[in-house]
Amino acid sequence: MAKVAFIGAGSVVFAKTLICDILQNPVLAGSTISLMDIDPARLKVAEVLARKVVNQLGVPAKVEATLNLKEACRGARYAITMIQVGGYRPATVTDFEIPKKYGLRQTIADTLGVGGVFRALRTIPELLKVGRTLRDVGAADPLLLNYSNPMAMNMWAIDRAVGVPAVGLCHSVQGTSRQLASYAGLDYKDVGYKVAGVNHIAFFLEFTYRGRDAYPLLFQAMDDPGVFARDKVRFEMMRRLGYFVTESSEHFAEYCPYFIQHGDAVIDAFGIPLDEYLRRCESIISTWKDTEKRMLEDDRDVTIGKSVEYGSQIINAMESGDPVVVYGNVPNRNLITNLPNGCCVEVPCLVDRQGLQPTVIGDLPPHLAGFIRTNVNVQELVVEAALTGKREHIYHAVMLDPHTASVLTLDQIWAMCDELIEAHQRDGFLPQFEPTRKGTGRSAATIDRVIGHFEATGITGVDRTDLSFVLHNQTSARFKGKVAFAFDRKAFSLAGPPSRVVEVAGGKVARLTLSFTRKQPETPLKLEAVCGHPAFLATGFDQPVRLHVRAGLEAKAAPIRVEWSGNTVAEGKLLVGGGCIGLEMRVNDSDVRPDPDKFWDGSALELFFAPLGKGTITQIVGLPGRKLGRVIHAQDRQPVSGAKCVCRADKAGYNVSLSVPLEAARIQAGKPFLFDLQVRVNALGDAHGRVGQCWQGSTQPHVESVRYALIEPLD
């Protein structure tokens, strides 16, 4: 069985995720998991946790732990690196605080910019040690899988200096593809894409829905203020470049010279969170002891899930021969022909027993290649500095950084780099750099489509669904076509004919009213609009059967768990009784910023109520506070009479006890009603910002798109 070495296993939560992924593959269940870290205390936590995973899964895997890199790599077929050299303190804090003195502000600072440069200079020497050790004492034909940032610089250096087979792994492609499906209102299983570029600056060259170009849906979504607000920087750059980029808005804002450096008005307009990584790290550090205690409790089961990370998929494919396609960061050997050969590119890769086989992309659109090269220029000089020890290339790299160059003069860049080098050297890093003489779119083009989508017009009961089919003619010509509505006719009946002739002038919108009645109980409504016109593009409608919850006494409270991209957003219970509906919840929001005027753009609990049968939706919003929160009506922002909201906030989120009188929700006591909850957080964990997720799984921000549960009070 394969031996897998985890280098930096003190990154306990992430290591546990990968261990769970690996050991759930039958071919890998007997693997040896070798854990290595330089921190004995964290290594012990990782070991205990790994053994709990093995015992809970009941697999024959072997777990070993060591502080010695050579022992960890000895005989290993795979080594997974997840290191942060210098840690949060002193290194990361130094990367932020010294540039701030010179007026250079950053958000994440782990990939490019001056923070990314110095993170690479600290990290590359350690990764080279891992690569060389794996090459010398590992199994035949080993593979290094790296998760450490800055990905492109690290992998470029490994390829140049070590030559061991290696791949860099990130989840930005998987995560962004799911976000795009959400923004466009598409079922993820029907979405296709092709992505290429460099890590964190790769672009969706293709984004399809059932094989057809779905970029028009993204441009349409961009024009919705509520959707635009969820990813402002990336949507703005899609408007200018014509393609959507893989990394988040807070990251991407510091890879280009268009946002942070133009003052508070631009920063506020695009919601750019300065010093974001510092705040997220502080949040994690503040809760680490509690996290450690919770993970090590003997009587507590480990939560075992299956993530979207590529690491286990690669190992399983190479061991079993079952092929898989992943997005990997690999050397550019004529893969992207208008980027420099030898740099690290992110492209789709086929993996099987033969190893990684990257896809040849050819030329990127020229403006994308030009944009990426502004970052590759920096990467190349950092790698040159790291491998040669020539200090002058550090200045050259920072001098070419798009963000830094738009803020600082050359004298300021040299002085800042000198101060950073000296500070890191005092802390024991960068010893190889000797002192020197000081001083020495696709644009938003016309979208030639006629786009159709379905909108719910209200809550009308369990067995009836009223919809509008909205057709937006984005062409300049008049559109006339026959639209057929496909659905399960055994389970539903449609008032009126199933096909309608639609005519709409160029640039105008037409709307059809549809009313469906369910003939078979417990049957979801799946609906498609079909038209033979070549310009026609329509999304489907999928209304699942409403979840039936019997809520009442606390002993029989209904559990609520809201997740996003594998992360728990909120967890708690729902209670109905005493004329009120109550929520007892823990919300994971490390940046609690309630705003009654823009509750959809910060921290909030949105409650949706509707009577069973024909009626209107009532939307009530709970806004957290340090101790007491507020409960307001969504429409007029006025307080809800008789409602209560008690909070206990900390750096990682808040606990909330919220109750709303049924009368305020326009619900009759003792009568079943429809309910949903949308949790909005401003920052989830250390990598995700501005999440809005419904209990029933909808990611749409609009009331009419929310999927409801049927709440039946107990006597």
| Residue 348: predicted pLDDT | 98
User: Chain centroid to CA 299: how far?
Assistant: 32
The CA–CA distances, whole Å, from 88 to 20, 321, 382, 613 equal 26, 40, 21, 55
| Residue 700: predicted pLDDT | 33
Q: What is the DSSP string of 142-186?
A: -EEEE-PSSHHHHHHHHHHHT---EEE--SHHHHHHHHHHHHHT-
Question: Quick one: average pLDDT of 232-246?
Answer: 97
Contact 585, 656 (CB under 8 A): yes
Q: Is the pLDDT of residue 183 over 90?
A: yes
Contact 588, 569 (CB under 8 A): yes
| Across 91-100, 564-573, 644-653, least confident range | 564-573
Q: Is the pLDDT of residue 337 over 70?
A: yes
pLDDT in tens, 604-658: 999 988 887 767 789 999 999 988 999 999 989 999 999 999 999 998 999 999 9
pLDDT in tens, 60-77: 999 999 999 999 999 999
pLDDT band at 524 (very low <50, low <70, confident <90, very high): confident
Question: Quick one: average pLDDT of 663-689?
Answer: 85
Q: What is the largest CA-CA distance in the chain?
A: 83
- Helix axis angle, 392-400 to 410-426, nearest 10°: 130
| Across 328-337, 466-475, 501-510, 548-557, least confident range | 548-557
Higher-confidence residue of 575 and 182: namely 182
| Residue 95: predicted pLDDT | 98
CATH of domain 548-713: 2.60.40.1190
Higher-confidence residue of 662 and 67: namely 67
Question: Quick one: average pLDDT of 221-234?
Answer: 95
pLDDT band at 708 (very low <50, low <70, confident <90, very high): low
Other Cβ atoms within 10 Å of 637 Cβ, number: 13
Query: Which of 190, 195, 189 has the alpha carbon at shortest distance from 176?
Result: 195
Contact 231, 179 (CB under 8 A): yes
3-state secondary structure of 23: helix
533 a catalytic residue: no
Q: What is the DSSP string of 237-303?
A: HHHHHSS-BSS-HHHHTTSSSSSGGG-HHHHHHTT--TTHHHHHHHHHHHHHHHHHHHHH-TTSPPP
pLDDT in tens, 375-424: 999 999 999 999 999 999 999 999 999 999 999 999 999 999 999 999 99
Identify the architecture of domain 450-543 in CATH.
Answer: Sandwich (2.60)
Contact 403, 113 (CB under 8 A): yes
| Residue 441: predicted pLDDT | 41
| Residue 686: predicted pLDDT | 74
Higher-confidence residue of 434 and 123: namely 123
The mean of the pLDDT values for the chain is 90
Alpha carbons 439 and 418: distance in angstroms, whole number? 9
Q: Where in the chain is the domain with CATH 2.60.40.1190?
A: 548-713
pLDDT band at 558 (very low <50, low <70, confident <90, very high): confident
Higher-confidence residue of 135 and 449: namely 135
| Residue 442: predicted pLDDT | 37
Alpha carbons 526 and 387: distance in angstroms, whole number? 58
Residue type, 6: F
On the CB side of 386, how many CA atoms lie within 13 Å of its CA?
29
Contact 406, 261 (CB under 8 A): yes
Q: Is the pLDDT of residue 548 over 80?
A: no
pLDDT band at 262 (very low <50, low <70, confident <90, very high): very high
Q: Is the pLDDT of residue 582 over 70?
A: yes
Question: Quick one: average pLDDT of 102-113?
Answer: 96
Q: Is the pLDDT of residue 706 over 60?
A: no
Higher-confidence residue of 29 and 689: namely 29
Alpha carbons 186 and 155: distance in angstroms, whole number? 34
Contact 650, 285 (CB under 8 A): no
Higher-confidence residue of 25 and 669: namely 25
Alpha carbons 311 and 344: distance in angstroms, whole number? 18
pLDDT band at 426 (very low <50, low <70, confident <90, very high): very high
Alpha carbons 214 and 604: distance in angstroms, whole number? 31
| Residue 295: predicted pLDDT | 74
- φ and ψ at residue 15, rounded to 5 degrees: -60, -45
Alpha carbons 329 and 307: distance in angstroms, whole number? 19
| Residue 408: predicted pLDDT | 97
Q: Where in the chain is the domain with CATH 2.60.40.10?
A: 450-543
Question: Quick one: average pLDDT of 528-540?
Answer: 93
| Residue 386: predicted pLDDT | 97
Contact 503, 417 (CB under 8 A): no
3-state secondary structure of 414: helix
Question: Quick one: average pLDDT of 206-234?
Answer: 96
Question: Quick one: average pLDDT of 188-193?
Answer: 96
Higher-confidence residue of 685 and 520: namely 520
Active-site residue identified among 171, 262, 633, 702: 171
Q: Is the pLDDT of residue 705 over 80?
A: no
| Residue 384: predicted pLDDT | 97
pLDDT band at 704 (very low <50, low <70, confident <90, very high): very low
- φ and ψ at residue 292, rounded to 5 degrees: -60, -45
